Amino acid sequence: MNTALQILEKHWGFSSFKSRQEAIIDSVLNGQDTVALLPTGGGKSICFQIPALLNEGICIVVSPLIALISDQVKSLQNKGIKALALKGGLSFDELRTLLDNATHGNYKFLYLSPERLQQEMVQNYIKKMNVNTIAVDEAHCISQWGSDFRPAYKNITILRELHPLVPIIALTATATPKVLEHTIEELKLELPNIFKDSFVRKNIAYQVIEQDDKLYQIERLLKRNTGSAIVYVRSRKAAVEIHNQLNSLGFRSAFYHGGLSADDKDRKLEAWQNNSISIMVATNAFGMGIDHPNVRFVIHVQLPESLESYFQEAGRAGRDGARATAVLLHNAYDKILVRKQFIDSLATPVDLKKIYRSLVNYFRIAYGEGMFSEHSFSFTDFCTTYKLNTFVAYNALNTLDRLAIIQLSKEFGRKTTISFTVSSETLLSYFERDIVASVIGKTILRLYGGIFDSPTKVNLELVAKKSGQKISVIISVLKKMEREELLELSLHITDASLTFLVPREDDKTINVVAKEVEVLNTKKTDQVEAVLKYVANDSECRSLQLVRYFGELNKEPCGICSVCSKTAQKLDRNEARLMAKDILSLLKQDSLNSRQISEALRFTESLILQVLKLLLDAEKICINEKNKYSIK
């Protein structure tokens, strides 16, 4: 019989295990429920794949990441291991055929999403399978404290009911002690063995840089880039804009966001992984499961919503073990924006009561009625009718959905998508021949600047308001332009369908869940405040701050982060005098900002900033509202 090490050598080509892998594998082989808390790049998948290969039967893998499911299934198949996945878009017959193959075809792995697991047919087939292991990937999602909450994760425990004696292994790269405790409780793990690897990544230099001119800072960093890089942004528009700016500066970049087609995503990912392009400018859609060993820089252009998401994204740097840098850029406005986006727009129980009352009135639901009634729903019209803050209303509706008070269709939040397939010159020429198309088309171009670069979501009601045209006319014009092959159109007249899952009881409906809402909101607020605290703390090792957040204490400073480097780079008194003299000489000629001074002098920027502070304290110089220094 093969041993775990022999399987590792045969299929993965390694002669030894990483850190905790072997102990985790032994725990699963012994039939114990197991929790594997390993940082990004820690080799989590091997921890359930090898036990599954050593035992007779099939391993059920639940993962929220379709891209990761596809990658792992493809990787296993390339190794000659029989694996399949239940992807989206399957017909009833296709799904049944795949489940038949999994049950009778000597397969070793069946991958599926938590949502797919909710199907009765899938559950019935799994019950008949010879299951040897159950693996729950990104297990922190099951926790109400988790940063990537997925409602369907709450029902993963159906696997425990279907196969009560099969060991469950829960895997995650980001979980605070409280999240870990709650995850174990929610998954109903029985006296699990818990394996936690150190979160310390000795090869990553974490940097936090306050910078108003972020493009300039990105350019400076990437000029030192010898491998691949990821630049994370918060919006699709920013991804396109920064990609264009970097290319104009001579860098080879691509952009990646959730609005791209599956083919576009695959093509761009492949180009980045084979080094045809070196820089990926992306939203968090470029997420978990992205595996590229030669990432030298991960740069965040805006503040993240949590240290969980930041640590996971930053951890994609340096997976080959070589020195890498994770940079977080921020300015004063970012701190205001992150609070506005993630704290100020949280729906309180009072907000939920208001939104819920508005919702039942909007659809004319009588008291005690409405259960399981389904309605077409226009979010924009709803907010306009009741004069609602769109951020708060959007979050409130999602919260009501999560709490099973309503159910929103998967189309909720979707808008009509337009992609122009001709050049701007051809389009403007067409507009000269059609006045109505010109009014509507130019309104769209003004509202959505990046529309030539990628398929863009368009709010038809906003276009109607700005152009003065009726929505029916706009739709007619867009369909005509589609027929003439000027654009590609995906039309959504309403945002979604909405189903009420409980009868109308007004405030009583919300009172039942008010405590849970307050807990969720407190946690989200704490997460944002933890990010702001991390950014503000420039006196303690960045790595120590991050690992302490995940419950890891008593570690040595990393020596390479922005705080440690600043501490190590002590200012020599004689050198300070020389620098002060040179700075004052420059400022006699003109007022300059710190960047201009750094470019003019041979000293490092961190030392120059220290001397500028000394000169300010000594009142030799002053600084104006444009952050320019001058002789006092």
Distance CA 541, CA 35 (A): 29
> Class of the 204-330 domain?
alpha beta
- Condensed to tens digits (0 to 9), the pLDDT of residues 236-251 reads 889 999 999 999 999 9
pLDDT, average across residues 590-617? 82
Query: Measuring CA to CA, which residue among 623, 627, 599 is closest to residue 216?
Result: 599
| pLDDT tier, 198 (very low <50, low <70, confident <90, very high otherwise) | confident
Task: Tell whether the model's pLDDT for residue 123 goes beyond 60.
Answer: yes
pLDDT, average across residues 386-401? 88
Q: Are 526 and 332 in contact (CB under 8 A)?
A: no
Consecutive H or E run containing 467: helix 460-467
Give, as one character, the DSSP assignment of residue 56: S
- pLDDT at residue 26, rounded to an integer: 95
What are the DSSP calls for 248-298, one per residue? HTT--EEEE-TTS-HHHHHHHHHHHHTTSSSEEEE-TTS-TT---TTEEEE
Task: Tell whether the model's pLDDT for residue 465 goes beyond 80.
Answer: yes
- pLDDT at residue 82, rounded to an integer: 95
- pLDDT at residue 64, rounded to an integer: 74
Could you tell me the fold of the domain covering 4-196? Rossmann fold (3.40.50)
- Condensed to tens digits (0 to 9), the pLDDT of residues 328-358 reads 999 888 999 899 888 888 889 999 999 999 9
- Condensed to tens digits (0 to 9), the pLDDT of residues 560-570 reads 898 988 766 66
- Identity of the highest mean pLDDT range in 52-56, 200-204, 457-461: 52-56
Distance CA 22, CA 140 (A): 22
In whole numbers, what is the pLDDT of the chain averaged over residues?
87
- Condensed to tens digits (0 to 9), the pLDDT of residues 100-109 reads 999 999 999 9
Q: Which two tokens stand for residue 13?
A: 């080509």
Angle of CA points 410, 416, 417, to nearest 5°? 100
Task: Tell whether the model's pLDDT for residue 146 goes beyond 70.
Answer: no
CA-to-CA separations, 48 to 21, 27, 614, in angstroms, rounded: 10, 10, 57
| pLDDT tier, 147 (very low <50, low <70, confident <90, very high otherwise) | very low
The strand pairing partners of 169, in sequence order, are 34, 135
Which range has the worst mean pLDDT, 124-133, 392-401, 408-417?
408-417
| pLDDT tier, 149 (very low <50, low <70, confident <90, very high otherwise) | very low
Q: Which two tokens stand for residue 22?
A: 């072997």
- pLDDT at residue 43, rounded to an integer: 81
pLDDT, average across residues 371-392? 87
> At 173, phi and psi to the nearest 5?
-105, -15
Query: Measuring CA to CA, which residue among 125, 77, 133 is closest to residue 104?
Result: 125
| pLDDT tier, 551 (very low <50, low <70, confident <90, very high otherwise) | confident
- Condensed to tens digits (0 to 9), the pLDDT of residues 467-505 reads 988 888 998 999 999 999 898 888 776 557 788 988 999
pLDDT, average across residues 205-223? 91
Q: Are 516 and 144 in contact (CB under 8 A)?
A: yes
pTM beyond 0.85, yes or no: no
Q: Which of the two residues, 11 and 554, has the higher pLDDT score?
A: 11
Task: Tell whether the model's pLDDT for residue 599 goes beyond 50.
Answer: yes
- pLDDT at residue 619, rounded to an integer: 86
- pLDDT at residue 575, rounded to an integer: 79
Which range has the worst mean pLDDT, 92-106, 151-165, 190-204, 365-379?
151-165
Task: Tell whether the model's pLDDT for residue 255 goes beyond 90.
Answer: yes
Q: What is the CATH number of domain 340-413+496-524?
A: 1.10.10.10
* Region class of 368: left (phi > 0), else alpha (psi between -120 and 50), else beta: left
Task: Tell whether the model's pLDDT for residue 148 goes beyond 60.
Answer: no
- Please name the CATH architecture into which domain 569-631 falls: Orthogonal Bundle (1.10)
Q: Are 349 and 322 in contact (CB under 8 A)?
A: no
Q: How far is CA 23 from the centre of its chain?
A: 31
Give all strands (DSSP E) within 46-100, no chain letters.
Answer: 58-62, 83-85
Query: Measuring CA to CA, which residue among 565, 165, 529 is closest to residue 327?
Result: 565
pLDDT, average across residues 169-183? 84
